[in-house]
Amino acid sequence: MSTPHNRPVVTELRLSAFKSHRGATFAFGPLTLLSGGSGTGKSSVLEAVTALGRLACGAELAEAFGAVRGGATACVPQSAQPDVQGRRGFRVGCTVTGPLGPVRLDVAVQTEPALRIVGERLTGGGETLLTTALRDPHRRTVQAAWHTAGAVAVTKAPLPDDRLATALLPLRVSGSTDGQRLVLAAAEQMVVALRGVFPVEPRPELMRAPVPVAAGRLRTSCDNLAAVLARTEGECATRHAALVNAVREVCSGPVEGLITLPAVLPGDSRTPPVEAVTAAVDRGPLGLVPIDRLGDGELRFVALALVLLTGPSVLDVDTSTELLPAGQVLTVLGDGLDLGLDRRQLRELLRLAGLAAGRGHIRLLATVQDPACADGLGGVTITGLGADREDAVDQSG
pLDDT tens per residue, range 67-92: 899 999 999 998 888 888 889 999 99
- What pLDDT is attached to residue 233? 86
Beta strands in 306-372 (DSSP E): 330-334, 362-368
pLDDT of residue 324: 47
For the chain, the first-to-last Cα distance in angstroms comes to 33
User: What is the C-alpha to C-alpha distance for residues 390 and 3, in angstroms, rounded to an integer?
Assistant: 33
Evaluate if residue 158 carries a pLDDT over 70: yes
Largest CA distance in the chain: 77
- Express each pLDDT in 185-213 by its tens digit: 999 999 999 999 999 999 999 999 999 98
Chain mean pLDDT for the chain: 90
Query: What does the alpha-carbon distance between residue 303 and residue 258 come to, in Å, rounded to a whole number?
Result: 12
Q: If you average pLDDT over residues 355-384, what whole number do you get?
A: 92
Start-end of CATH 3.40.50.300 domains in the chain: 1-196+317-397
Q: Is the pLDDT of residue 397 over 50?
A: no
Question: Which residues, 6+ apart, have CB-to-CB distance to 104 below 8 Å?
Answer: 93, 94, 95, 121, 122, 123, 124
DSSP 237: H
Instruction: Classify domain 1-196+317-397 by CATH number.
Output: 3.40.50.300
The whole-number pLDDT of residue 321 equals 46
Compute the average pLDDT of residues 22-35.
96
Q: How deeply is 130 buried, as exposed, middle or buried, from its count of CB atoms within 10 A (0-12, 13-18, 19+)? A: buried
> For 308-354, how does the pLDDT look when each residue is reduced to its tens digit (9 = 90+)?
987 666 776 665 545 445 568 899 999 999 999 999 999 999 999 99
pTM listed for this prediction: 0.92
**Full DSSP string of 168-194:** HHHHH----SHHHHHHHHHHHHHHHHH
Q: What is the model's pLDDT at position 152?
A: 75
Strands (E), the chain: 9-18, 21-27, 31-35, 88-98, 101-112, 116-124, 127-133, 141-147, 154-160, 197-199, 211-212, 257-265, 274-282, 288-290, 330-334, 362-368, 381-384, 393-394
